[in-house]
Copies of this chain bind each other. A is one copy, B any other.
C-alpha cells in the first residue's frame, strides 16, 4: 500500500487539477481502509508515527535548518521565523502531541441516539469519519503532525498543503509520519503531502468538490479569506476573532478587572483574545478596570464616555469596533445596560467568543441565550476559547460557521453520522 516519493511526484505535464484528483482518489481509497481499523490499531499507528518522529529528529532538524536559512535570506519577519523554527524541545512537543491524540477516545462508532419505530424498525445515528480532509497551512511545521494525527484518529485521510517557507521541514516530518504509520499497517496514502508548492494546486484543492470532503485552513486572515472565497468544498474555519467582554452593572469589580486583564493581555495574538470591552454605564469600577489595563501597557481607544473616564484613552474611530488588533490595543465603549451591550455585540461580533461578567444570574442567562456566537461565556476570560482548555485534548481549529461543528473542533468535529436501520422484514405500506 505504500507509495514511494517518486510515485507521488507530479510529472511535468500533470495539470494541478489532475494531480489533486489523483492524490484525492488515492486518499479516498486509503480512507476506506482506515475506517475499518479498530480503535487500538489507529492508536498504535499514531504511537508508531510519534516514535518515528523521534528517530528522525536529526533529519527533521537539518531540514528545518535549511528552511530557516532560506527564510532569513528571503527576509522573513522575526515572528514568521519563530513560527518556522524547530529545536529538540519543540520537536519533542510535536511527537508528544501525536502520542496525546493516540490516547484520546475514538469518536467513530459512537451512537448519537437510537429509537425503535412502532413497526419494529430500530434506528441509530452513528458517528462515521468525514472522509478526505484537506489542510492548507502556512509556516508552522507542527501543523503537519497535529493535523495528520487528528484526522487519522477520527478515521479520516488527509491531504496536507503546507507553506513554501517550511517545505523541507514538512517533507521530513511527513516522511517520518508515513514510515511510522506504514509500519503499523496504515496505508501511506492516508496521510499525503502535496508534492508541489505550485499555488494552482491549492486552487485545485479548493474546487475539488466530491473528491475532498472538507477543507481546514490554518493560518492568517488572508489565507482564510482566500480559502473561504474560492472553496467549492465545505470549509471549517473562522476569519476573525473580534471577541467582546461586557462588564455588567452587577459584576464583581475585582473579578471584572482580573478577567479583563487576562482576556486582553495574557496573549494578545490568539483568536480568543478580547478586542472590545463594553462597560455598563452604571458599573461603579470602570475607571479602575481601565486604569489597570493602561498601567499594564494596553492602548485603549474609547467612545466619548469611555474617554471621559481616563485622559490616557484615545478616541476610537468607527473602524475600531470591527478590528481584530491581535496586539495590546483594546476598543472600549460605555453602554446603557444589557440590551445595549447585546445590540453592540450583534452588530460587531465575529461570532467567535463573547463574554459577560456579572453576578446577576438573569443577566447571565439572557446573555448566554441571546448572543449568537460559537462560544458565549459568563464570568470567565475569553482566552479559554481553545480545544485543550475545553477538554477536547486537541483542536484542528475553531469554527464560526453555523452548520456542522462550531467552536473548538477536535475529533468529534471531524466526524459526521449515518442512520443505521435494523429491521425484521418491514415493507412500507
A199 adjacent to chain B (CB < 8 Å):
no
Asked whether B384 lies within 8 Å of A426 as measured between CB atoms, the reply is yes
Beyond A123-B391, A389-B117, is A376–B421 a contact (Cβ under 8 Å)? Answer: yes
Q: Which residues of chain B are within 8 angstroms of A32 by Cβ–Cβ distance?
A: 346, 372
CB of A128 within 8 A of CB of B376, answer no
Q: Which residues of B contact A35 (CB under 8 A)?
A: 370, 372
User: Are A380 and B418 in contact (CB-based, < 8 A)?
Assistant: no
Q: Could you tell me the distance between the alpha carbons of A422 and B376 in the complex, rounded to whole angstroms?
A: 9
Show 13 residue pairs from A and B whose CB-CB distance is below 8 angstroms, ordered by the A residue. A115-B391, A121-B380, A130-B402, A263-B427, A368-B420, A373-B418, A375-B419, A375-B421, A377-B423, A380-B427, A389-B428, A402-B416, A404-B416
Residues from chain B with Cβ under 8 Å of A407 in the complex: 125, 418-419
CB of A72, distance to nearest CB on chain B (Å):
33
Tell me, yes or no, whether A417 is within 8 Å of chain B by CB: yes
Q: Are B426 and A380 in contact (CB under 8 A)?
A: yes
- Would you call B262 and A428 a contact (CB within 8 A)? yes
Query: Does A234 have its Cβ within 8 Å of any Cβ on chain B?
Result: yes
The interface stretch among A51-59, A139-147, A251-259 is A251-259
Q: How would residues 366 to 393 of chain A score, 1 for a CB under 8 Å from any chain B CB and 0 otherwise?
A: 0011101111111111011000011100
Query: Within 8 Å CB of A305, what residues of B?
Result: none
- Asked if A406 is at the interface of the complex by the 8 Å CB criterion, the answer is yes
The number of chain A residues touching the other chain, given as a range, is: 35 or more
Is A149 part of the contact surface with B, judged by Cβ < 8 Å?
Answer: no
A425 interface contact, C-beta 8 A: yes
Q: Which among B259, B378, B426 is the interface contact of A427 at CB below 8 angstroms?
A: B259
Q: Which A residues fall within an 8 A CB radius of B?
A: 32, 35-36, 109, 115, 117, 121, 123, 125, 128, 130-131, 209, 213-214, 228, 234, 252, 255, 258-259, 261-263, 266, 346, 355, 364, 368-370, 372-381, 383-384, 389-391, 401-404, 406-408, 416-428
Out of B117, B403, B428, name the residue touching A404 (CB < 8 Å).
B403
Whether A372 lies near B266 (C-beta < 8 A) is no
Q: Closest approach, in angstroms, between the C-beta of A58 and any C-beta of chain B?
A: 34
Interface core residue of A35, A389, A428 (most chain B CB under 10 Å)? A428
- Other A-B pairs, 8, CB within 8 Å; known A364-B422, A376-B419: A35-B372, A109-B369, A209-B228, A234-B234, A252-B425, A376-B420, A380-B426, A384-B421
Contact B403 A419 (CB under 8 A): no
> If A130-B403, A375-B421 touch, does A383 touch B428 (CB 8 Å cutoff)?
yes
Q: Please state if A428 and B266 are interface contacts (CB–CB under 8 Å).
A: yes
**Docked complex Cα distance between A258 and B355 (Å):** 58
Contact A374 B418 (CB under 8 A): yes
What are the 7 tightest A-B residue pairs by CB atom distance, in nearest-first order?
A: A380-B423, A262-B427, A403-B404, A377-B421, A379-B423, A255-B425, A383-B428
Contacts of A262 in B (CB 8 A): 427-428
Taking A402-B130, A428-B266 as contacts, is the C-beta distance between A378 and B259 under 8 angstroms? no
Residue of B nearest to A408 (CB): B419
Contact of A391 among B117, B125, B370, B401 (CB under 8 A): B117
Inside 8 A of A380's CB, which chain B residues have their CB? 121, 421-427
Q: Select which of B376, B379, B417 is within 8 A of A418 by beta carbon.
A: B376
Give the shortest distance, in Å, between A364 (CB) and chain B (any CB): 7
Contact A372 B423 (CB under 8 A): no
> Which of A125, A364, A370, A391 has the most CB atoms of chain B within a 10 A radius of its CB?
A391
Most chain B CB inside 10 Å of its own CB: which residue of A121, A258, A427: A427
A377's closest neighbor in chain B, by CB?
B421
CA distance A421 to B407 in the complex (A): 12
Tell me the nearest residue of chain B to A424, going by C-beta: B379
User: Distance (Å) between the CB of A155 and the closest chain B CB?
Assistant: 11
